[in-house]
Amino acid sequence: MTAVEISEAVRSGQRSARSVVDMSLSTIGAGEAEVHAFNLVAAEQALAQADEIDRMVAAGEDPGPLAGVPVALKDNLCTRGMGTTCSSRILEGWVPPYDATVVELLRNAGAVFVGKTNMDEFAMGSSTENSAFGPTRNPRDLSRVPGGSSGGSAAAVAAGFAPVALGSDTGGSIRQPAALCGVVGVKPTYGLVSRYGLVAFASSLDQIGPLAATVADSARVLDVISGPDARDSTSIGDPQPPVSATLGDGVDGLRVGVLAELSGDGIAPDVAARVRAAVGALEAAGARVAEASVPAAVYGLSAYYLIAQAEASSNLARYDGVRYGLRVDAPSTPGMNTATRSAGFGDEVKRRIMVGTYALSAGYYDAYYGRAQKVRTLIVDDFASAWEQFDLLVSPTSPTTAFSLGERTDDPMSMYMSDVCTVPVNLAGQAAMSVPYGVGDDGLPVGVQILAPALGEPVMFRAAAVLEASLQ
Amino acid sequence: MSDGALDKPGLGVPADTGWETVVGLEVHAELSTETKLFSASPNRFGGEPNTHIDPVSLGLPGSLPVLNQKAVELAIRVGLALNCGIRPSVFARKNYFYPDMPKDFQISQYDEPISVDGWLELPSGKRIGIERAHLEEDTGKTVHIGGAGRIHEAGYSLVDYNRAGVPLIEIVGRPELRSAEEARQYVAELRAILVAVGASDGKMEEGSLRVDCNVSVRPAGSDRLGTRCEIKNVNSLRSLGRAIEHEARRQIGLLAGGRPVEQQTRHWNEDEGRTHALRSKEEDHDYRYFPEPDLLPLDPSAEWVEEIRRELPPLPRDRRLRLGEAAPSADAGHIALAVERSLDGLALAAIGGGGLPERVMIHIVQNLAGGAGMLDAEALAGLAQMEEAGELTATQAKKVLAVLAESGGSPQDAARALGFEAMDSTELESMLDGLIAENPEEWSRFCEGDAKLTGFFVGQAMKATRGRADGKAVTQLLISRRG
Amino acid sequence: MGQQRITRAECARVAALARLELTEEELERFTGQLDELLGHVAEVEALDVEGLAPTMHALPIANVLRPDVPGEVLDRDEVLARAPLAEDGQFRVPPVLGEAP
C-alpha cells in the first residue's frame, strides 16, 4: 500500500494504524537481517504511536494526512527519546532531548516512526559503507550498495519496510540512493524544509527531503514537512503552495532542457539511454525539449568538495567528548578531545575534516574556500541563464547504476564521482528529484534527475508524475 | 561601581621618565536582553549551573542559531552613541577548541562588523577613536577544582553553560590613550554611555563589563608603537589603573635595561598587584574564520537605524554640557560627577526651580554621594533658597539635606524639626546692641565708612550666636543702624 | 605527478588543529589522498572569478530576527544524565591546561 492509500484507509476507519504498523514491522523482521537498513527499529514506540492514531480515529478526530503511515527516519534527524547516532561511534547511545522540526510535523500529521535508518557517517559518503554500524545492502541486489548517504532510507523504501522515509541531501544524498534503489527521492529548494534538528554536515547545502515508492507519496510527505520555521534562520518565510494539488497537471507546453554538461562524458551508456527515453516520454506528453547548457556545472564537484568539507570541519568540532556522546579519557581536556575524536570518527569523516580544516586555514582560505564560493556564484549565474529558457532541466541522477560493495571504498575520488550530477543543484540551492525510470543493462534501477529553479517544486512534481505514469 | 572617577590614587607613569604609555582597550559588555543572542534561554546572571540552557546554547547536534532582534537594537544604540557608522554585517565562525564553548567555535562578527569608525569623548574633551563595535556570543564558565583553583594545577574542571550564548558587544578602541588615568576615564565614560542607552548594566564585578588592555610604551615623542602586551582579568576601574601602571613600568624596566618586550598575553593578579605571563600554549592558533552559514547577513534598514537614533536618551556628554550651561561656574569635574551619579536631572530641575546653581552643585557633589534618596528637585531648590536668604547656615543645610534624602518632605519642615529656626530680629538687635557697646572704636570706624569692619562685626555675631545668626541679616542690620 | 600540494608535515599540523591523532600509517595514507583530492579540486584555480562576489547561500534573504522572548529551557538532569561525566550540576572535564585564547 502507498502512503496515500494507508492514510485514506486509516482516516476512514477501514484499517487500523496498528495493523499497518504491524505489517511494516513484520516486513522489517523478515528482511532487515539481509538489508540492514536500520540503526534502530523502534517497534514499541511505533505501536504506541499507532494505537494513539487509532484512538483518535475512534474518537472522531482527524490524525492528519499521514495517518498511520510508517515512516523511516534517517539517523541524523533528532528524535526526542529515540537514539540518534549519524552512524557514528562518537554519537553512539546519544538520545536527543528534542525533536527536529520535521519530526514534529510528521508526528502531528499522524505518521508513525518505525526506526532510524543507516547512513554514511555524518552523511559523508555515497554508498552507506561509511557507517560505523556496517553497510546497508541494496534490496534490488544484495551484492550492491544502496547508494548514500541516505542509503538506509532508500533501502527501507525499496524493501517495503516503510512506504516513505526521510533523508538529507547535501550533494546528492537523497537522489543518488533513490536512483540506485529504484525509488523517488526529492531534494527540495534550500530553505523550503526546516533544518532544525538535522545534524549538520554542510549547513549551506543540507536539505531534508522525502524518499518514497511513488511520486504522490513523496509529494504528500513534502507538503507536510515544508514551510516556514522560526527556529531555522535559513527557512523561507513565505508558505508555498502544496505540490500535491497540481500533481496531475501534466507537462504540456513546458520547456524542458537536457543538461548537456551532466549527460555526456562519464555517463554509462545504459543510464544515458534511459534518460533519453524519459526525455522522449516528456516530449510525448507535450513538453518542448531542447539541449541546455550550464557550463560551470562541471566545476560543481570541486567547489562542492571544498565548501562542504570546510563547513563540516567546523560543524563537527563540537564532538569533543565534553557534553554528550563518546569520551575517551586522557589526562587533559585537549588530550581527551583528541583521543575521543580519533577513536570516534571513521576514516572518511577524518579525511573530510582535514580537507575542510586545510581549506579554511591561514594562507589557504582565498585559494580554496574563498575561490570555491566564487565558483559557486558562477554556477548560480549559469543556472539563472538556463532558467530564462527552460522551466525544467533533465539529467541522469547517477552516472552508473548501483556498484558493488567494496568497489570504491579504497578510492575516495571514484566515490565522489557518483555525485557529479547532483552537487550543482545543492550549490545553487535549487530543487531536484530523482524518479526511477526502468533498469540498466545489469537489470538495476536507473534514476532520472529533474531539476527545477528555486521553489519550482510544483512544476517539477508534474514532470515526475508524467514520467511515473509513462512507465505504467 | 564603587570606585568613582574622582578617586585618583595618583596613577600614571611619571612624566619625567622619558617614556610614554600607549593603551588601547577592548571592552566586552553583556547586553541587557531577556534571552541569549541566538536562542530563547534566559540571559540572567547567576542561577544554578546549567539551568539557562537550550539545544542552541548547549551546541546540541542539529540546533541552529536565530538572531535576537533586541540584541541588534542594543548594538545599534551603542554604535550610534559612540558616533559609529552602522553597516551591513556578517556573522562568522571563529574556530578553536575550548570546553566552555559548546560548539567549539564562537559566532562573532569578523571582517564585517555592525559598527565602525566612531569616537568617544573623555570628560577632558579628548576624543578616543573607536575602531569597531561588534556583536558576538559569550562562552560558558569553567571552574578549576583542586590546585587552589589555579588552572595549571587543577585536578579537573567543571563547566557551566548558563553564560554561553549571552550577547556581547565588543568595543575596540584605538590605541590613543596615553595614561592609566585616561584609560580609567575612557572605561568610566564608556560604561556611563552603555548604562545611559540601556545596553548593559556595566557591572565589572559581575563580569558584565570586561576589559582587555593592550599596553605598550615608547620613548616620549616617538610616533611608532612599541610591542604590546595584552592584559586580562582586570575586574574594576581600580585594577585597570593599577594593572596598566604596573605593566608600563615593567615594560619600561625591560627596555631601559636593553631587553625587548615580548608580545604576550598577561594576567593581572589583583592580590599581588602585578601581571604575569600566561603559559603560552604549544598548539597554534588559526581561527579559520568563515561566514556562519546558519545565519543570514544583517542589514538594518536606514529607517530602523533612524528610529533608534531618535529614541536615544541624552548621552553623558550632552548631559554634562547641559548641566554646565545651567551651572556655568561649576567645576568640570563636579559636572562630570553629577552626571556619573545620575544627579544631573535633579540638579537641572533644582536650578530651574530657583535654586542658586552654586549652592545646588555643592549639595550634589559634596552631600549626595549616596544618591538623592527621597529628595526632590523642589525641596533642593527650596533648601538653596533658604540658605541664600540666610535662614540656614551651610552646616545646618547639610543636616536638613540628609533628612530630606532620608525621608523626603519640605526643607522648611525639616529645618523646624531640627530646631534650625533663624533668629528673630529682636534677638539679633539686642545682640548687636551688646557688640556695639563692647567695641566702640570699631563701630565708629564702621560708621565712618570703613567697609572692612563689616566682616569684623559679622564674625563677632557668628561667634556670639555659635553660627546661628545669618551673615546677610547681620550686615543688613549693621547698615540700617549706621543710618 | 605534478607538484605536491600538501606535505606530510602540513597534514600533521592540520590534524592537530582539528584535534585528530593519526597513526604513522594514517598520516602516510591521508597525505597521499589529500594531495590527490586537492590536485583535483585545484581545477577551480584555473577559473576566472575576478570580480565575482562569493555566494554564501543561494538564498536571497537577510535580516532574519527573533523577538527577545524567553522560551523553554532544557531539563538539566536529563542533559547531564547523558553527559560523559557530570558533577555538581556541571560537566566535568580533565584539566584544561590553558586559558581560552
Measured in angstroms, the CA of A450 and the nearest CA of chain B are apart by: 27
**Probe site for chain B from C56, C59, C91 (most B CB atoms < 10 A):** C91
DSSP secondary structure letters along C63-80: --EE-S-------HHHHH
Question: Across the interface, do C63 and B296 touch by the CB < 8 Å criterion?
Answer: yes
A171 touches chain C (CB under 8 A): no
Chain C residue numbers with beta carbons less than 8 Å from the beta carbon of A380 are: 55, 58
* List of residues 6+ apart from A116 with CB closer than 8 A: A38, A39, A40, A42, A72, A73, A74, A75, A77, A79, A82, A83, A84, A85
Residue A236: how many CB atoms within 10 A of its CB?
Answer: 22
- The whole domain housing A160 covers 3-229
Cβ atoms A234, C57 nearer than 8 A: yes
Q: In C, which residues are within 8 Å of B279 by CB distance?
A: 98
| Cβ neighbours for A365, distance < 8 A, ≥ 6 positions apart | A359, B288, B290
Can you give B321-361 as a three-state secondary structure string?
HHHHHHCCCCCHHHHHHHHHCCCHHHHHHHHHCCCCHHHHH
Segment holding A151, helix H or strand E: helix A151-158
Contact present, A311 and B295 (Cβ < 8 Å): no
Which residues are CB-neighbours of C65 under 8 A, at least 6 positions away? B66, B67, B68, B69, B72
Question: From the CB of residue A438, how many other CB atoms can be counted at a distance below 10 Å?
Answer: 15
CB B95 within 8 A of CB A360: yes
Alpha carbon distance A71, A213 (integer Å):
12
Q: What is the pLDDT along chain B (483 residues), one digit of tens a residue?
A: 333 333 333 344 454 578 999 999 999 999 999 999 999 999 998 899 999 999 999 999 999 999 999 999 999 999 999 999 999 999 999 999 999 999 999 999 999 999 999 999 998 889 999 999 999 999 999 999 987 767 777 899 999 999 999 999 999 999 999 999 999 999 999 999 999 999 999 988 888 999 999 999 999 888 899 999 999 889 899 999 999 999 999 999 999 899 999 988 899 998 888 888 876 544 557 999 999 999 999 999 999 999 999 999 999 999 999 999 999 999 888 998 898 888 999 999 999 999 999 999 999 999 898 888 999 999 999 999 988 887 888 888 899 999 999 989 999 888 888 878 666 667 778 888 888 889 989 898 988 888 888 888 888 888 887 667 777 778 888 888 886
Interface touch B62/A311, C-beta < 8 Å: no
Nearest to B217 by CA among B185, B189, B259, B184: B259
pLDDT < 50 positions in chain A: none
Residue A177 CA to residue A167 CA, distance in Å, equals: 10
- Closest chain A residue to C80, measured at CA: A323
Return d(Cα C23, Cα A169) in angstroms, integer. Answer: 32
Query: At A88, which CATH number?
Result: 3.90.1300.10
pTM for this model (two decimals): 0.89
Q: Give me the pLDDT at residue B282, please.
A: 44
Assess contact for A211 and A153: CB atoms under 8 A: yes
Interface contact A240, partner C, CB < 8 A:
no
Sole residue written with cell 605534478? C2
Q: Buried b / exposed e across B24-50, counting CB within 10 Å, b at 16+? A: bbbbbbbbbbebbbbbbbbbeeeeebb
Report CB contact under 8 Å: A313, B288.
Answer: yes
Instruction: Map grid coordinates 529515540 to a residue.
Output: A82
Cβ neighbors of B176 (< 8 A, separation 6 or more) are B24, B128, B129
pLDDT score, position B12: 43
Residues of C in contact with A371 (CB under 8 A): 44-45, 47, 49
Per cent of chain C over pLDDT 70 is 98
> What is the DSSP secondary-structure string of B70-105?
HHHHHHHHHHHHTTPEE--B-EEEEE---TTSTTSE
Q: What angle do CA B281, B282, B283 make, to 5 degrees?
A: 95
pLDDT at residue C2, as a whole number: 54
pLDDT at B280: 55
Cβ-contact B58, A323 below 8 angstroms: yes
Tell whether A326 is covered by a domain: no
Subunit contact A354:C95, Cβ cutoff 8 A: no
* Cβ(B115)–Cβ(B29) below 8 Å: no
Shortest alpha-carbon distance between residue A14 and chain B (Å) = 38
Pick C22 or B4 by higher pLDDT: C22
pLDDT value at residue B422: 64
Residue B293, by phi and psi: left (phi above 0), alpha (psi -120 to 50) or beta? alpha
Residues of A in contact with C22 (CB under 8 A): 342, 350
Interface size, chain A vs chain B, as Cβ–Cβ contacts under 8 Å:
99
Chain centre distance of CA B25: 15
Residues A140, A445: Cα–Cα separation, whole Å:
8
- Residue contact A336–C57, C-beta within 8 A: no
Q: Alpha helices of B302-450 — where are they, by DSSP H? A: 302-310, 316-326, 332-340, 344-352, 357-362, 377-388, 394-407, 411-417, 425-438, 440-447
Q: Does A75 reside within a domain?
A: yes
The cell for A241 is: 503552495
Strands across the sheet containing B141-145: B141-145, B156-160, C90-93, C86-87
CB neighbours (10 Å) of residue A377? 20
Instruction: Give strand pairing partners of A67.
Output: none
Task: Give contacts of A 355-384 with C, CB under 8 A.
Answer: 355, 357-358, 361, 367-368, 370-378, 380
Element (H, E) at A460: helix A457-470
Contact between A232 and B66 using a beta-carbon 8 Å cutoff: yes
Burial of residue C27 (CB within 10 Å: 0-12, 13-18, 19+) is: middle
pLDDT of amino acid B2: 36
Q: Where are the domains of chain C?
A: 8-45
pLDDT in tens, A388-420: 999 999 999 999 999 999 999 888 888 888 899
Cell of A135: 553497510
Across the interface, whether the CB atoms of A334 and B283 are under 8 A apart is answered yes
Number of structural domains chain A divides into = 1
Question: Which residues 7-66 in chain C show a CB within 8 A of chain A?
Answer: 10-11, 14-15, 17-22, 26, 30, 33-34, 36-38, 40-45, 47, 49, 52-59, 61, 64, 66
Minimal CA separation from B61 to chain A, in Å: 5
pLDDT at position B77 is: 98
Interface partners of C (3+ CB pairs, < 8 Å)?
A, B
Q: Where are the beta strands (DSSP E) in A311-444?
A: 392-396, 431-439
B59: region left, alpha or beta (phi > 0 left; psi from -120 to 50 alpha): left
